[in-house]
């Protein structure tokens, strides 16, 4: 602990499992010239307050001898003796505690962790991570809470960014803030993280602390939130059904949710009814970082319609197809002390989906561009995101289904090369 001159600590146990018997301060690091302000057990003793009662231990001590300002104190404050009343277990929970700085007289910030006796009924978290959040946007992740050792009850949930600096631009909340679980029934809640560029958001990896509490029971977990600097989101809308010989329009939407410029250089489709190049920028040769192109699609949230002709001899039924997206991100490299902007190749983004083909004689299904069958808005259902390291060659994607139209949404994040003008990030795969 930093230097301090007094403490006031409340601790609570399940009194049917453990019975507090005594408090001993003879070994306290503050014993010299000290005054015992509170000595209260089970609501009886000296200095008891309305927060005391059965199963509560309350101790407070102050000293008129402040240690030197530069002293770091290591040692015990007090010792509690318990008597075992029954089998099972209980948390030894510090539910209120204050420690006062000897130099300023102000409270010292600190962390309190419950102790555990035996095997008390409790709960555990199951989290998915990391949670990828745009530089100026939001994302969410579900967390599951499961009963352990027969726990049954309502658990209050809170979440906070561990870094005080990041808390200014990264806001985290949970919905709902309370969940009920039993040994037979787990519960889920949603962690929502929002990043704001005007508040100073910067690419990087940030830890979020998630805490659950229910009376004496307490547990916590952490969730990693990543704000990437290279972030391509791709959505494609197409009819779920078409007829043989029909021309189908694919609505492709590209969004740059990072801080690094990116562009699309090719879109191709492979299926059992043919392989087609839907879009291809002109190659102008190899550069220092990758291929040079003219006519590439700059990524700024625009929608690009591309047509696909279904061969007339395509057999009826379900057909799978693969869409390959070739793209680049812009890198800054120092050459002879001068910054040079380069376009760098990445691993292509790959999406797999299917479409149902009917006989050419049947009436074709309306295209997704029809006024009667508009494409979906920014809402995407059943979304799951995957983070991959470019070095591993693994590709993330998001798949959703909306109002009878097939919606594909893809998010690709990569590990950038060293850029002196932008922060760098290291990536781990999000399962």
The CATH number of residue 104's host domain is 2.60.40.680
Higher confidence at residue 67 or residue 162?
162
Q: How confident is the model at residue 398 (pLDDT cuts 50, 70, 90)?
A: very low
Instruction: Indicate if the pLDDT at residue 386 is higher than 80.
Output: no
Per the domain annotation, does 140 fall within a domain?
yes
Residue with tokens 């001993």: 24
Instruction: Indicate if the pLDDT at residue 256 is higher than 60.
Output: yes
Average pLDDT over residues 108-118: 88
Per the domain annotation, does 427 fall within a domain?
no
Per the domain annotation, does 168 fall within a domain?
yes
Query: What's the chain's average pLDDT?
Result: 81
Per the domain annotation, does 419 fall within a domain?
no
Domain of residue 133: give its range: 122-227
Q: What pLDDT score was predicted for residue 190?
A: 96
Q: Say yes or no: 402 and 268 in one domain.
A: yes
302 within 8 A of 358, measured Cβ to Cβ: no
Q: What is the CATH number of the domain that holds 312?
A: 2.60.40.10
Per the domain annotation, does 11 fall within a domain?
yes
Average pLDDT over residues 4-25: 94
Q: Say yes or no: 330 and 408 in one domain.
A: yes
Average pLDDT over residues 111-120: 90
Q: Say yes or no: 176 and 147 in one domain.
A: yes
Between CA 307 and CA 283 the distance in angstroms is 22
Return the bridge partners of 255, or none: 233
Q: Say yes or no: 158 and 209 in one domain.
A: yes
Q: Say yes or no: 256 and 403 in one domain.
A: yes
Q: Say yes or no: 300 and 349 in one domain.
A: yes
Per the domain annotation, does 297 fall within a domain?
yes
The answer to whether the predicted template modeling score (pTM) of the entire model surpasses 0.85 is no
Q: Say yes or no: 243 and 223 in one domain.
A: no
> Which of 71, 94, 118 finishes a domain?
118
> Which of 98, 118, 138 finishes a domain?
118
Q: Say yes or no: 368 and 257 in one domain.
A: yes
Between CA 267 and CA 255 the distance in angstroms is 15
Average pLDDT over residues 54-61: 96
Over residues 130-146, the pLDDT tens digits come to: 898 999 999 999 999 99
Over residues 184-217, the pLDDT tens digits come to: 999 999 999 999 999 999 988 999 999 999 999 9
User: Which tokens is 400 given?
Assistant: 């959703």
Instruction: Indicate if the pLDDT at residue 41 is higher than 50.
Output: yes
User: Which tokens is 53 given?
Assistant: 């009662």
Percentage of the chain beyond pLDDT 70 is 82
Comparing 111-120, 323-332, 418-427, the range with the smallest average pLDDT is 418-427
Number of domains in the chain: 3
Average pLDDT over residues 111-117: 88
Instruction: Indicate if the pLDDT at residue 99 is higher than 60.
Output: yes
Q: Which residues of 121-144 are buried (b: 16+ CB within 10 A; e: fewer)?
A: bbbebebebbbbbbbbbebebebe
Between CA 146 and CA 121 the distance in angstroms is 11
Residue 376 DSSP label? P
Higher confidence at residue 406 or residue 234?
234
Comparing 261-265, 282-286, 299-303, 376-380, the range with the smallest average pLDDT is 376-380
12 within 8 A of 56, measured Cβ to Cβ: yes
Instruction: Indicate if the pLDDT at residue 181 is higher than 80.
Output: yes
Average pLDDT over residues 14-31: 92
Residue with tokens 């005080």: 164
Residue 248 DSSP label? E
Q: Say yes or no: 320 and 393 in one domain.
A: yes
Instruction: Indicate if the pLDDT at residue 391 is higher than 50.
Output: no
Q: Say yes or no: 270 and 365 in one domain.
A: yes
Indicate the burial class of 391 (C-beta count within 10 angstroms; 0-12, 13-18, 19 or more).
Answer: exposed
Over residues 87-98, the pLDDT tens digits come to: 989 999 999 999
Q: Say yes or no: 60 and 173 in one domain.
A: no
Q: Say yes or no: 108 and 93 in one domain.
A: yes
Q: What pLDDT score was predicted for residue 360?
A: 58
Instruction: Indicate if the pLDDT at residue 287 is higher than 80.
Output: yes
Average pLDDT over residues 84-88: 93
Instruction: Indicate if the pLDDT at residue 31 is higher than 90.
Output: no
Per the domain annotation, does 420 fall within a domain?
no
Q: Which residues of 192-210 are buried (b: 16+ CB within 10 A; e: fewer)?
A: bbbbeeeeebbbbebebeb
> Which of 62, 91, 118 finishes a domain?
118
Average pLDDT over residues 347-359: 83
Per the domain annotation, does 418 fall within a domain?
no
């Amino acid at each position: 602990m930093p230097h301090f001159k007094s403490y006031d600590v409340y601790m609570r146990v399940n009194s049917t499992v453990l019975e507090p018997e005594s408090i001993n301060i003879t070994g306290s690091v503050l014993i010299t010239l000290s005054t015992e302000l509170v000595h209260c057990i089970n609501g009886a003793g000296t200095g008891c307050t309305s927060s005391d009662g059965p199963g509560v231990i309350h101790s407070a001590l102050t000293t008129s001898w402040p240690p030197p300002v530069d002293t770091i104190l290591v040692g015990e404050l007090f010792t509690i003796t318990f008597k075992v009343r029954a089998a099972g277990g209980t948390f030894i929970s510090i539910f209120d505690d204050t420690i006062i700085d000897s130099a300023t007289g102000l409270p010292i910030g600190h962390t309190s962790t419950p102790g555990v006796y035996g095997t008390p009924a409790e709960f555990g978290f199951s989290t998915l991570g990391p949670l990828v959040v745009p530089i100026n946007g939001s994302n969410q992740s579900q967390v599951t809470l499961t009963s352990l050792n027969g726990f049954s009850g309502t658990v209050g949930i809170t979440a906070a960014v561990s870094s005080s600096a990041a808390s200014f631009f990264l806001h985290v909340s949970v919905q709902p803030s309370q969940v009920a679980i039993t040994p037979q029934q787990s519960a889920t809640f949603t962690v929502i993280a929002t990043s704001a560029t005007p508040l100073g958001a910067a690419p990087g990896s940030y830890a979020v602390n998630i805490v659950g509490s229910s009376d004496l029971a307490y547990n916590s977990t952490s969730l990693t939130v990543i704000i990437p600097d290279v972030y391509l989101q791709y959505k494609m809308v197409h009819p779920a059904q078409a007829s043989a010989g029909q021309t189908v329009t694919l609505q492709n939407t590209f969004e740059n949710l990072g801080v690094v410029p990116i562009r699309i250089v090719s879109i191709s489709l492979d299926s059992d009814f043919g392989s087609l190049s839907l879009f291809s920028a002109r190659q102008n040769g190899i550069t220092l970082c990758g291929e040079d192109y003219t006519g590439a699609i700059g990524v700024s949230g625009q929608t690009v319609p591309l047509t696909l002709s279904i061969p007339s001899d395509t057999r009826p039924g379900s057909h799978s197809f693969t869409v390959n997206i070739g793209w680049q991100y812009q890198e800054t490299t120092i050459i002879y002390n001068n910054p040079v902007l380069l376009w760098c190749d990445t691993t292509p983004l790959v999406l797999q989906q299917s479409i149902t083909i009917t006989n050419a004689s049947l009436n074709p299904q309306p295209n997704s561009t029809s006024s009667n069958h508009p494409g979906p808005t920014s809402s995407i259902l059943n979304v799951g995101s995957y983070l991959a390291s470019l070095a591993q060659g693994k590709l993330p994607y998001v798949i959703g289904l909306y109002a009878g139209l097939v919606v594909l949404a893809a998010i690709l994040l990569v590990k950038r090369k060293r850029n002196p003008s932008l922060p760098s990030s290291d990536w781990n795969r999000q399962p």
